[in-house]
Amino acid sequence: MKEQADAVLDTTGLLCPEPVMLLHNKVRQLQAAEILMLVATDPSTQRDVPRFCQFLGHTLLKEEQVGEAFHYWIQKKQS
């Protein structure tokens, strides 16, 4: 099942810490409960994105690997 994203952030080719830094900035732009789809190729995002969500209270709805890319659906916490 594909989650419907309100926004997409493509960090393909970027290495730690850039994907999470850009993720942090992009999530700030979203309204509460909106969903962001993050696309990354850095394997460290498999560790960093769940930690980011847990630390800041956002919900990691789904994560999957598609070829060399990692896809994450993140729902911004509701105030």
Diameter of the chain measured on Cα atoms: 35
Both structure tokens of 7: 């926004």
Q: How far apart are alpha carbons 42 and 35 in whole angstroms?
A: 21
- From the candidates 7, 14, 16, 39, which is the catalytic residue? 16
Residue 53: active-site member: no
Q: Is the peptide bond before 43 cis (omega within 30 degrees of 0)?
A: no
Catalytic machinery residues? 16
